[in-house]
């Protein structure tokens, strides 16, 4: 009998075969699922962002829905609304797309602030309030929001306080030449044989809950816990690791970053078949955990310094246990 860990390893392999050239996106998506968080994905169009979460939904027990964010979107378009039924003389609540298990918020920065806040409230509280009634969202509930870095005209950038609600901020880049060739071959096969065989290896809600509990049992040594904390604290007190870093940061990461890095490091170790966390797990995920939580100073931006460069400097200067 297959273990829960083997089921998720096989799921990762199947997604790798269907989504070519984006192993990091697949890994981060599974980490967010296991860590019970949400992720923000930034990348140019056509890089399989929608395909990734849609295919994940096909392998999980639950429903998937895609929302295209536009400037004319209203909060009720996400949460749902009360509809009057004249035959019965009563109002009936019509559920919105947020009542699905996997939600793709496509181009989240194209919707105004009220719509963004309605989504982020549902992400944080796992519930929706309409009028005087509160509705609890079904488990699992995972939101993958996307941003297009190319076009910034007519967009509404997410405030830093709202960005902090996302577990991870993942940058997606173009695939290499070899992967691009495999994508072309896969597209030809799917065009010639569009029918998809029914999935018989769906992961149930109970199995997902069991996997999440197993992730929490992954061992994190005390010295590695201190190392993790030093990385987060260094984003608030960078002068401890060099005067040149002191002027780069305006605001450091919040305690949510500490919790996120802990849960994500355990999830990555578990996905790789280990029952313990290594320094590499923490280092690999520090970039995605801190990318949207650290606010750079004007001086750093003027010098062309990115958050990734800052995190790389911190990791290089903090002693590894």
Contact assessment for residue 259 and residue 165, using Cβ atoms and an 8 Å cutoff = no
Look-up: residue for tokens 């030093």? 230
Angle at CA of residue 47, ends 143 and 192, nearest 5°: 110
* Residues with pLDDT less than 50, the chain: 1, 199-200
Around 117, how many Cα atoms within 13 Å sit in the side-chain half-sphere?
6
* CB neighbour list of residue 279: distance below 8 Å, 6 or more residues apart: 224, 227, 320, 321
Residue 183 lies in a domain: no
Report yes or no on 99 lying in a domain.
Answer: yes
Q: Is 280:204 a contact under the CB 8 Å cutoff? A: no
Residues 8, 267: contact at Cβ < 8 Å?
A: no
Q: Which domain holds residue 306?
A: 218-317
pLDDT for residue 130: 80
CATH number assigned to the domain comprising residue 273: 1.10.8.80
In a domain, 202, yes or no: no
Task: Give me the pLDDT at residue 83, please.
Answer: 85
161 within some domain: yes
- The CA-atom distances, in angstroms, between 52 and each of 18, 23, 77, 167, 319 are 8, 10, 24, 18, 36
| Phi-psi category of residue 39: left, alpha or beta, with phi > 0 → left and psi -120 to 50 → alpha | beta
Residues 145 and 223 in one domain: no
Q: What is the C-alpha separation between 276 and 266, in angstroms, rounded? A: 7
**Is the residue at 181 inside a domain?**
no
Nearest to 66 by CA among 110, 103, 29: 103
The per-residue pLDDT for 197 is 52
Residues 6+ apart with CB under 8 A from 202: 58, 59, 60, 61
Same domain, 239 and 154: no
Quote the pLDDT of residue 194.
62
Per-residue pLDDT of 73-95, as tens digits, reads 999 999 988 888 888 888 888 89
How far, rounded to the nearest angstrom, does the alpha carbon of residue 94 sit from its chain's CA centroid?
28
Q: Is residue 283 part of a domain?
A: yes
Domain count, the chain: 2
Q: Please name which of 71, 33, 29 lies closest in space to residue 50, comparing C-alpha atoms.
A: 29
Mean pLDDT estimate for the chain: 89
In a domain, 189, yes or no: no
**Residues ≥6 apart with Cβ < 8 Å to 53:** 29, 64, 102, 104, 144
How is 74-114 classified by DSSP, letter by letter? -THHHHEEEEEETTTTEEEEEE-GGGSSEEEEETGGGS-HH
Residues 271 and 139 in one domain: no
User: Do residues 156 and 280 share a domain?
Assistant: no
Phi-psi region of 80 (alpha: psi -120 to 50; beta: other; left: phi over 0): left
Q: Of the residues 173, 200, 235, which one is the last residue of a structural domain?
A: 173
- Cα separation of 317 and 296, whole Å? 19
Of 143, 173, 203, the last residue of a domain is 173
Among residues 22, 295, 43, the alpha carbon closest in space to that of 149 is found at: 43
Q: Is residue 208 part of a domain?
A: no
Q: What is the pLDDT of residue 159?
A: 81
Give the model's pLDDT for residue 316.
94
């Amino acid at each position: 009998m297959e273990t829960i860990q083997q089921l998720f390893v096989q799921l990762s392999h199947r997604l790798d075969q269907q989504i070519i050239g984006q192993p990091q996106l697949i890994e981060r998506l599974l980490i967010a699922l296991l860590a019970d968080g949400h992720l923000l994905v930034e990348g140019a169009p056509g890089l399989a962002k929608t395909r990734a979460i849609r295919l994940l939904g096909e392998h999980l027990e639950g429903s998937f829905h895609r929302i295209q964010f536009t400037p004319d979107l209203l909060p009720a378009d996400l949460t749902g609304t009360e509809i009057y039924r004249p035959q019965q003389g009563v109002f009936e609540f019509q559920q919105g797309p947020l009542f699905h298990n996997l939600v793709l918020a496509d181009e989240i920065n194209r919707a105004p602030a009220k719509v963004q806040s309605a989504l982020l409230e549902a992400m944080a509280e796992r519930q929706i309030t309409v009028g005087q009634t509160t509705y609890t969202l079904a488990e699992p509930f995972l939101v993958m929001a996307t941003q297009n870095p190319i076009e910034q005209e007519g967009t509404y950038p997410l405030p830093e306080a709202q960005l902090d609600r996302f577990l991870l901020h993942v940058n997606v880049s173009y695939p290499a030449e070899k992967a691009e060739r495999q994508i072309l071959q896969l597209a030809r096969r799917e065009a010639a044989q569009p029918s998809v065989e029914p999935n018989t290896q769906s992961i149930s809600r109970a199995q997902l809950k069991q996997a999440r509990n197993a992730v929490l049992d992954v061992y994190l040594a005390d010295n590695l816990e201190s190392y993790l904390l030093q990385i987060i604290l260094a984003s608030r007190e960078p002068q401890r690791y060099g005067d040149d870093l002191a002027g780069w940061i305006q605001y450091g990461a919040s305690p949510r970053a500490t919790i996120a890095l802990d849960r994500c490091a355990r999830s990555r170790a578990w996905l790789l078949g280990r029952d313990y966390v290594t320094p590499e797990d923490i280092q690999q995920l520090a970039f995605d955990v801190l990318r949207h939580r650290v606010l750079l100073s004007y001086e750093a931006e003027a010098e062309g310094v990115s958050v990734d460069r800052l995190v790389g400097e911190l990791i290089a200067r903090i002693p590894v246990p």
